[in-house]
Structure 1
Amino acid sequence: MLPVAVAANVVEIRARTRSTIMAVVKADGFGHGAVTVARAAVAAGAGWLGTTSVAEAAALRAARLAVPILTWLHPSGIDAEAAAAAGVDVAVGSVDELAALLAQATPTVRIHLHMDTGMSRGGCPRGQWDELIGLAQRGQRARRVRVAGVMGHLPLADRADPAANAPAVAAMRQARQAVRAAGLGSPPAHLAATSGTLTDPATHFDMVRVGAGLVGIDPSGTVRMHDASRLTAPIVHTTAVPAGTPVGYGGTYVTDRATHLSVLPVGYADGIPRECSPQAGVAIRGRRLPVAGRVSMDQIVIDTGAESFPAGTSATVFGPDGGATPTVHDWARWAGTIPHTIVTGIGPRVKRSIA
């Protein structure tokens, strides 16, 4: 299911852009396995991969993924030697970051100049673009770096409104022109992530960076993508209770009739949102059944009504099926959050398998 869904989502993206597709597999492929997602995306036509760190990129290289890789967050700083050894591009988002990179005694490192195009969350501020480009120019002349790209971010792309994206698009055009005017060639420019890619061709430039979209999430809410994951859990305990039975910590749920309660061995330690609405539920044998009471660290309770399910019966917490089966989007709505937090929050106790 996972590789097929990722491939289908890449095909959906390809139908909407002529630009090169970078498959961003940070956060362990949005919780789905970075190597698995990367392989499926590349097989479907993605030309680049994106990660948060050189270490993540090196793991993709170890898995024999040979396409270009860019890393741009650098939580532990840029390891230029490791980047050069792995053949990985790195983004630099400040004069200080580039100066520190140039101070390292390494072979030539391919860099992307990360410009702040309106996010104010990393990237070189507009007032320092000339200084950053000048330093990159000197570094390239000395063969310490090679400028291989220029990038920015769209702060308002989830609105699916080209007018909201226009200032960032204009800023990226100016940054690209400044890089060209400095004699640094015409490296590919990239600005759009999933929402921009799906809704605004003006943001596409030479490459688009698609992460959430690979696993079926469209933050703009305008395109139905293919959900890539399913979470199931076995019933481990079932009991019959009378009307008026309080359930879980605080007794926030009280049965309004004689019913059966089943326990699933997943809780907030496994990524089930603790704060979710009374509409939250799971699917058991084709029926949507409600979560009863508060989510515990290791368990949730399901009110199964007149039907008693034996231990071992599989419940689907979320999946791509539709109908009775909740989706990650349903859980995000019930928890008042975004689907990204659902799929990236599934904990390490949950066994992963690829279907």
Structure 2
Amino acid sequence: MWAEIDHAAIAHNVRVLRERAPQSDVMAVVKADAYGHGLLPVARTAVAAGASWLGVAQFGEAFALRDAGLTTPLLTWLSVPGADFAGVVRRDIDLSASAPWVLDEIAAAARAEGRTARVHLKVDTGLGRGGAFGAAWDDLVRHVRPLEAEGAVRVVGIWQHFAHADAPEHPTVLAQQERFFEAVAIAERAGCRPEVRHLANSAATLVHPSAHADLVRPGIAMYGLTPVPQVDDDFGLRPAMTVRARLALVKRLPAGQGISYGHAYVTDADTVVGLIPAGYADGIPRNATNVGPLLADGRRTAIAGRVCMDQVVVDLGPTSTAGAGDVVTLFGGAPGEPTAQDWADATDTISYEIVTRLGPRVPRLHLRAEGADGAEGAEGA
């Protein structure tokens, strides 16, 4: 099994998102190995296509980007006590702070490095996850001001996450926006002068223009998958990942034959089956048993029987002429191919999980967008 990553599609999607938020900068969110698409290649393509910021969740991801030579403004937002804050400050990476202890550790690292740390204060406007909630926001703002006066930190951003941006009519969207701008006003009255205010994820970038502010943070949309599948609109996005495999074995089985562990699938007629050498260790959901959609031998079908660690079976039908080595498509974006959203619907999850769960055994074949040499090529990762 392998994944083809279409960098022309990623570049196209970045341009679509820029057009949706023409007055805002775009932060390309490349956390989780760029949603399974490949951190460094995708980051470079996104920046070349016009993303002016990069965003990741963890320090290691941010270090990899900086150490590879990417100098684009970069935010990382998850940290625990004792993390390598000095390494972040040294590499000129922006940090998020949701609590006073984070500011104290950032400031200590900045003093040790002889630099001023760039900080984005995060406010919890109703998601109930990261960020300072309620009166804790006032405490966070009060805590940062002496550190700014000292020169240890500088508040360059204020941000938040939506709870229901993927539900365009949900009342919490507007309520969270109102709370966010109230929090910004509190910080500004205290003397903070943020350069960027950012609250829009992919869904808000596409359907909530009032949330665009100074910076938008698209993630899943950059990879061509809609964050609002209930809306009948693909927004002009192009899926960037296509996952394929080759049949390892093709054979005939009689009617009434059980397939794979537990015989969760039983043939209802004499048929031809194919073995695909990929399974849940590669990222195929185990609950795709009997429902995971495939394009095999020119027709839409599904996994037949239990998903195993390293293999699955497909019922190709009694008249199939498929042979070992033939290509099967799990998902992609071309006409007739199942999509990541089809897999999400079949397994009761979201497309984000389908693309990010691909395992390290699955090579990524990067189909390059037009670059400096003006040619398209491919490279593995």
The question of a shared fold, defined as TM-score above 0.5 by the shorter chain, is answered with yes
Segment drifting more, 34-43 vs 154-163: 154-163
The one-character-per-residue Cα deviations of 1:115-165 (angstroms, maximum 9, x if unpaired) are 111111011122111221111111011010011100111111110126331
Report the TM-score, using the length of structure 1 for normalisation.
Answer: 0.96
Residues 293 and 342 of structure 2 are in contact (CA less than 8 Å); yes or no, is this contact kept in structure 1? no
Which residue pairs with 1:259 in the alignment?
Answer: 271
Q: How does 1:194-233 map to 2 (within 5 A)?
A: 194-221=202-229, 222=231, 223-224=233-234, 225-233=237-245
1:307 alignment partner, one of 307, 320, 329: 320
* Residues 276 and 336, structure 1, Cα contact 8 Å, conserved in 2: no
Partner Cα distance (1:186, 1:177) in 2: 11
> Given that residues 54 and 88 in structure 1 are in contact (C-alpha distance below 8 angstroms), is that contact kept between their aligned partners in structure 2?
no
Identity of aligned residues (%): 39
Asked if 2 retains the 8 angstrom alpha-carbon contact of 1:78 and 1:101, the reply is no
2: distance between equivalents of 1:187 and 1:252? 57
2:17 is the counterpart of 1:5 = no
The residue correspondences of 1:36-55 to structure 2 (distance < 5 A) are 36-55=41-60
SS in 1 for 2:28: strand
Instruction: Write the deviation string for residues 76-131 of structure 1: whole angstroms up to 9, x where unpaired.
Output: 75423211221100000112221232233332110000111111101112211122
Residue in 1 that maps onto 2:135? 127
1:322 corresponds in structure 2 to: 335
* Structure 2 gaps, min length 5: 368-381
Q: Are the equivalent residues in 1 in contact too, given 2:36–2:355 (CA < 8 A)? A: yes
Match of 2:69, SS state, is coil
CA contact (8 A) 1:162 1:200 kept: no
Deviates more, 1:269-278 or 1:138-147: 269-278
* Paired residues of 2:62 and 2:74 also in contact (CA < 8 A): yes
- The SS at the match of 1:115 is strand
4+ residue segments displaced more than 3 Å:
75-78
The one-letter amino acid paired with 1:257 is: A
Q: SS where residue 87 of structure 1 aligns?
A: coil
Counterpart position of 1:349:
361
Structure 1: unaligned runs, 5 residues or longer: none
Aligned position for 2:71: 66
258-267 or 4-13: which moved more?
4-13
Tell me how large the CA RMSD over aligned residues is: 1.5
CA contact (8 A) 1:215 1:227 kept: yes
Q: Secondary structure at the match of 2:64?
A: helix
Q: Measure, in 1, the Cα distance between the counterparts of 2:280 and 2:60.
A: 29
Correspondence 1:112 to 2:123? no
User: Quick one: distance in 2 between partners of 1:210 and 1:36?
Assistant: 17
Contact 1:231 / 1:316 at 8 angstroms: preserved in 2? Answer: yes
2:19 matched to which residue of 1?
15
Specify the alignment match of 1:297 in structure 2.
309
Q: Do the aligned partners of residues 344 and 77 (structure 1) sit closer, same or farther apart at CA in structure 2, a change above 3 Å counting?
A: farther
* More deviation, 267-276/57-66: 57-66
CA separation in 2, counterparts of 1:186 and 1:290? 51
| Superposed CA offset, 1:278-329 (max 9, x none) | 4433112432133111111111101111214221111111111131x11111
- Structure 2 match to 1:271: 283
Which secondary structure does the structure 1 equivalent of 2:288 belong to?
A: coil
TM-score by length of 2: 0.89
Task: Give the equivalent residue in structure 2 for 1:155.
Answer: 163
Matched, 1:83 2:88: yes
Tell which has more relative contact order, 1 or 2 (C-alpha 8 A, sep 6+). Answer: 2
**Residue number in structure 2 paired with 1:183:** 191
- 1:31, CA displacement in angstroms? 0.3
Aligned partners of 1:152 and 1:172 also within 8 Å: yes
Deviations 1:43-102 (A, max 9, x none): 111110001123211211222222100000125754232112211000001122212322
Worse-matched range after superposition: 20-29 or 2-11: 2-11
Residue 61 of structure 2 corresponds to residue 56 of structure 1: yes
